[in-house]
Amino acid sequence: MQLDLVDVFGSVPLRGNPLAVVRGGEGLSDAQMLRLTQWLNFSETTFLLPPTDSRADYRVRIFYPGGELPFAGHPTLGSCHAWLEAGGVPHEDGVAIQQCGAGLVEVRREGGALAFRAPPLIRTGPLDEEELAEALRVSGVDRAQVIEAAHVANGPGWKMLRLGTAEAVLAAEPAPKAPLGTDVGLVGPHPAGSELGWEVRAFFADTHGRVKEDPVTGSFNAGVAVHLFENGLAAGDYRAGQGQKVGAEGIVHCARDAEGAIWIGGRTATVARGAALPEFEAFRP
């Protein structure tokens, strides 16, 4: 087995969201995959596997310290990057087909970056009063600042609070504790003429119930982009910034093509490649 480290969505080196990618782990059990994920303690670790669907180029299983996810954004781009770097050749030139728990996801090259086709939302509509109250508590946002509160779930169960300004997004002070499974994000527009269209922040709870802020979040940005484009709140393309409150400098490119598909892209870069994972005790049956 080999371990790669990939920096995803960083506008400059080592300022994106780190991802661990394991190659050659076909013999690992679910419990062993989760144990390694918990030890690494990144927001996600992925395991590249041979596809079981003939239409796919590769299969990926996506774990976070609390379990497995059917889909996640920065693991999708980072896993594709690692697969290509390891010599993977897609069936279709310039487009790789990833198989994951959510089905098949297209990943394409865009200049020097990668972009995935945003999956459809699996839950939409406004938050109810109880959901809104909890989202406000977790994010530390005052209700008067909220323009819209909606579900934008696409694997993770993201709850979006749309605020009036990017400044309000950056001023939020999240709560220290929340239940495992919490996925709450904020989005607000930058002033007209800015280099960035929107500012994004995303909060989740770790296995100890502590609220963490994700550096740069592909799945939440994808859910937000689908919501914004489909509701006429964005057109063409825009760039979202994320991570400056936790020392990251993430830039996420969001675009809607002529056929209506929404693409979420950004820079991916190898930090380390091919570290050998020994058959230590935890990996034995």
Q: What is residue 278's predicted lDDT score, i.e. its pLDDT?
A: 83
Residue at 230 is within a domain: yes
Q: What is the mean pLDDT of residues 101-112?
A: 92
pTM to 2 decimal places: 0.94
Q: What is residue 283's predicted lDDT score, i.e. its pLDDT?
A: 65
Residue at 123 is within a domain: no
The enclosing domain of 21 has a CATH number of 3.10.310.10
Does the annotation count 44 as an active-site position?
yes
Name the CA radius of gyration of the chain, rounded: 18
* Dist. CA 200–CA 172, nearest whole Å: 11
* Dist. CA 32–CA 178, nearest whole Å: 26
Residue at 188 is within a domain: yes
Closest CA to 27 of 280, 283, 277: 283
Q: What is the mean pLDDT of residues 109-123?
A: 93
**Same-domain check for residues 72 and 137:** no
Q: What is residue 78's predicted lDDT score, i.e. its pLDDT?
A: 98
**Same-domain check for residues 6 and 43:** yes
Q: How many CB atoms lie within 10 A of CB 281?
A: 6
Closest CA to 18 of 27, 26, 8, 28: 8
**Same-domain check for residues 94 and 72:** yes
Instruction: Give SS3 for 170.
Output: helix
**Same-domain check for residues 235 and 279:** no
Q: What is residue 110's predicted lDDT score, i.e. its pLDDT?
A: 84
Per-residue pLDDT tens digits for 209-240: 999 999 999 999 999 999 999 999 998 999 99
Residue at 51 is within a domain: yes
Residue at 8 is within a domain: yes
Residue at 124 is within a domain: no
Q: What is residue 279's predicted lDDT score, i.e. its pLDDT?
A: 76
Q: What is residue 112's predicted lDDT score, i.e. its pLDDT?
A: 82
Q: What is residue 285's predicted lDDT score, i.e. its pLDDT?
A: 55
**Same-domain check for residues 253 and 177:** yes
* Dist. CA 264–CA 115, nearest whole Å: 5
Residue at 122 is within a domain: no
**Same-domain check for residues 41 and 106:** yes
**Same-domain check for residues 111 and 16:** yes
**Which one from 26, 44, 167, 173 is the annotated catalytic residue?**
44
Amino acid at 124: T
Per-residue pLDDT tens digits for 23-34: 999 999 999 999
**Same-domain check for residues 27 and 90:** yes
Q: How many CB atoms lie within 10 A of CB 112?
A: 8
C-alpha separations of 14 from 78, 199, 249, 271 in Å: 14, 20, 9, 8
Q: How many CB atoms lie within 10 A of CB 35?
A: 15
For residue 282, pLDDT over 80 is answered with no
Six-digit token pair at 251? 């830039």
**Same-domain check for residues 171 and 253:** yes
H helix runs in 120-217, sequence order:
129-139, 166-171
**Same-domain check for residues 163 and 246:** yes
Q: What DSSP letter does each residue of 62-87 carry, written as one string?
A: EEETTEEES--HHHHHHHHHHHHHTT
Percent of the chain past pLDDT 90, that is, above it, reads 94
**Same-domain check for residues 11 and 108:** yes
Indicate the DSSP class of residue 242. Answer: E
For residue 94, pLDDT over 70 is answered with yes
Number of domains the chain is built from: 2
What is the pairing mode between strands 67-69 and 58-64?
antiparallel
Which residue range is the domain that position 183 belongs to?
Answer: 129-259
